[in-house]
Chains A and B, each alone.
Chain A
């Protein structure tokens, strides 16, 4: 696969931008790339921007939830930003449990939330 994995670094945070219609293999490749990067740069937060996803089915939702879990195991926090209203409605009706996943309206709010989250966990992390 030649496509670049859509990762950017901003200070202690890794920003993941999910866009377009992703096939299952690509979603899993991005998941691996993010966890590798979190471990490598010892990131404290991951911001997952899903505003470019017009559809999130149970597979993609599950991979995102799994990614959030792995990021937590690596001692970092994550938040999901920009979920489209139609996608959110669909996920609820589909029955995908996303309650343990933190969501924010946009990247700015997401960054603020990440900072609050890692302030809260600093006590035991460092």
Chain B
């Protein structure tokens, strides 16, 4: 994915992804509205779209809470595979990373005294969920939700 566009307009298939920069809690609103607009472009049903926006909100909040200076980027694009469409979103930060991924993906594990639901819950909500984290380097999570 090459981040070329910065406007929050939804992207058609093949177009450059939308970039949302995260620098603080207020950016969660933009992440949610970008995902919602993109869900509409991809023809996601209401439940699939709601799940996508919710998971995106969890992952973006993790960046605000755990990444260095609460900073990271989200790239959102339309995914296409045969005749189905979806929304793919990549959440990356260059923060401290996650040392024990197995623990972090377990319900109830939180280093921040929270419920520990964001990562495992997002995985349950999404059709696809990939996490890649290097301690000391950062974390990248890619999620995808299809229209069918």
Show the binding face of A for B, using Cβ within 8 Å. Answer: 21, 23-25, 54-59, 62, 84-87, 89-90, 93-96
Enumerate 20 A-B pairs (CB-CB under 8 Å) in ascending A order.
Answer: A21-B29, A23-B25, A23-B28, A24-B25, A25-B25, A54-B53, A55-B50, A55-B54, A56-B54, A57-B54, A62-B115, A86-B47, A86-B50, A93-B125, A94-B121, A94-B122, A95-B117, A95-B120, A96-B115, A96-B117
Chain A interface secondary structure, helix, strand, loop or mixed?
Answer: helix
Please give, as numbers and ranges, the residues of chain A lying within 8 Å of B28 by CB-CB distance: 23-24
- The yes or no answer to B12 lying at the interface (CB within 8 A) is no
- Distance of A55 Cα from B28 Cα, bound (Å): 12
Residues of B within 8 A of A93 (CB): 51, 121, 124-125
Alpha-carbon separation in the docked complex, A25 to B115 (Å): 19
Q: Give the residues in chain A near B118, CB-CB below 8 Å.
A: 58
Chain B at the A interface: SS class: helix
Q: Is the CB of B53 within 8 A of A55?
A: yes
Q: Which residues of B contact A (CB under 8 A)?
A: 25-26, 28-29, 32-33, 36, 46-47, 49-51, 53-54, 57-58, 61, 107, 114-115, 117-118, 120-122, 124-125
Select from chain B the residue with minimum beta-carbon distance to A55.
Answer: B53
Q: How far is B114's CA from A62's CA once the two chains are assembled, in angstroms?
A: 10
Contact A94 B54 (CB under 8 A): yes
Closest 7 CB pairs of A and B: A94-B121, A86-B50, A57-B57, A86-B47, A95-B117, A86-B46, A55-B53
Residues in A whose Cβ lies below 8 Å from that of B120: 95
Asked whether A94 and B25 contact (CB < 8 A) given A55-B53, A57-B61, A62-B115, the answer is no
**A33–B15 CA distance with the chains assembled, in angstroms:** 45
The residue on A at minimum CB distance from B64 is: A24
Contact A23 B117 (CB under 8 A): no
> Are B47's CB and A94's CB within 8 A?
no
Q: Are A90 and B117 in contact (CB under 8 A)?
A: no
Inter-chain contacts of A24 with B (CB < 8 A): 25, 28
Known: A84-B50, A95-B120. 7 other contacts (CB 8 A): A54-B50, A54-B53, A55-B50, A55-B53, A58-B117, A90-B125, A94-B117
A89 to B, closest residue via Cβ = B47
Given contacts A21-B33, A94-B117, A95-B117, contact A59 B61 (CB under 8 A): yes
